[in-house]
Amino acid sequence: MRTLPDNIHWWCGACGKHLETNQGHEEHRPLRHVGLGGDGLFWLVFGEYGTWKTRFAGTFPSPLRIEDFDLGTLSIQQEILKLGPRCKVQHYDPEDPETFEAAEKSILSFDPRWRSLIIDSASGLERACASKAKAVSGHELMELSDWNPAGERFGKLMRVLQWYSLAFGCQILVTAHEELDREYTKGAYVAGPGGKLQAAEPTSIKGLPDLTGKWARRAGRLPDVILRSRVLNGAPTLVAIRETVGGGGAYWEVKDRTGTLESLPPTTWGGAQGRPWNYGAGYCPPFWPYLWQEITTRRKELQVANPTSVSVHHP
C-alpha cells in the first residue's frame, strides 16, 4: 500500500496491518496513530560537524535503527551500549559502489515495528548514490550524465522515509552537513572588462543541507521539521527560526510543520559541571523527548480548540 486511504487511522504492529479504528487492539504493541497529525514525524537536522546532530539522534525513541555512512555513531557509543538490542547500527563505506545496494535493501526492508530510523548522514547516502552511478556508467569521476540517476536514487529513498513516518507512525531523522547555496542567472562567472572572466553576483543565497544541485531544495519539501544545529554560547542548539547568514540578506532555511518549535518557552537542559545550558524561544535543546512532548502538548491545545481537526495519541 503506497497511498494511505482517508479511512485509515491506525497501524497495529502486533497484527501487521492498518486499521480504521483501534477497537479490539488497545492492548497491542506497537499501536500507532498514522496519517497527518499521527505519531510519526520526519526530521532533517543539518549543520557543521561537532554540533550534536548524531547525539540528537541518540535521544530518539527505541527500538531504533541507525544507518551510519559517516561513522558518526562513534560519538554515541555509550548511548548505544545502554540500549543494547534495542539499537541496531549498520555502517557503510559511501565510496564503495556496492554500498548503495546494501543500504537500499536495508532501508526498503525496514521493519516498522522499530520506533525510529536514523540516516546519518544524507550527505553520505548521496555519496553512495553517486558511487553507484559511477559504477553503472564506468566513469572514474562523476560526469554530467551521472548526476540525474544518482539524484533519482537518493530521492526515491527520501520518499520511502517520508512514507514510513506517515504510514507507520515512525520517527525518522536524517542528518546532513550544511552549505551556502548560490544561484546565478548566467553562471558563476561572466565576461568582464577586456573579456576577462570575473565572478558574477548571485541572484539568491540560502543556507541549506549540503546536497548536490537541486536536491537540497527538493529534499526540503519532504521532512516535517528541518532544524539547523550549531553551538550557541557554548551550548549545542537546534535552531528553529531563520537566521541571517553573516548578518546579510541571506538566511539559513528551516521549517516546522507542527508550528511548535519556533515559539518554545525558555528552558534548560544538559550542561557540564553543574551548569545547565539555557535555551530561548526558537532555540531548542538537542533532546527528542522534550521536543516531542512540546509538539504533542501543542496538538492537544489545538484539539481542544477544534476537536475535529487534530487527533492525538501517545504510543
Contact between 76 and 59 (Cβ < 8 Å): no
pLDDT tens digits for range 144-176: 898 888 889 999 999 999 999 999 999 999 999
Q: What is the DSSP string of 251-269?
A: EE--EETTS-GGGPPPEEE
At 39 the pLDDT is 95
Residue 14's closest CA among 1, 32, 28?
28
Sorted by where each begins, the domain ranges of the chain are 7-36, 37-180+208-305
Burial class of residue 147 (count of CB atoms within 10 Å of its CB; 0-12, 13-18, 19+): middle
For residue 193, give Cα distances in angstroms to 72, 190, 196: 48, 10, 6
Where b means 16+ CB within 10 Å and e means fewer, 2-30 reads eebeeebbbbbbeeeebbeebeebeeeeb
Q: What are residue 207's DSSP bridge partners?
A: 180, 252
Contact between 122 and 176 (Cβ < 8 Å): yes
At 314 the pLDDT is 37
Residue 70's closest CA among 107, 123, 106?
123
At 38 the pLDDT is 92
Q: What are residue 278's DSSP bridge partners?
A: 268
pTM confidence score: 0.89
Extract the C-alpha cell encoding 75: 560519538
pLDDT tens digits for range 56-75: 999 999 999 999 999 889 88
At 102 the pLDDT is 96
List, for the chain, all residue ranges whose pLDDT scores fall below the cut of 50: 1, 309-315
Query: Running DSSP on this structure, what letter comes out for residue 312?
Result: -
At 181 the pLDDT is 74
At 199 the pLDDT is 63
Q: What are residue 232's DSSP bridge partners?
A: 235
Contact between 165 and 11 (Cβ < 8 Å): no
At 197 the pLDDT is 67
Please tell me the CATH code under which domain 37-180+208-305 is placed: 3.40.50
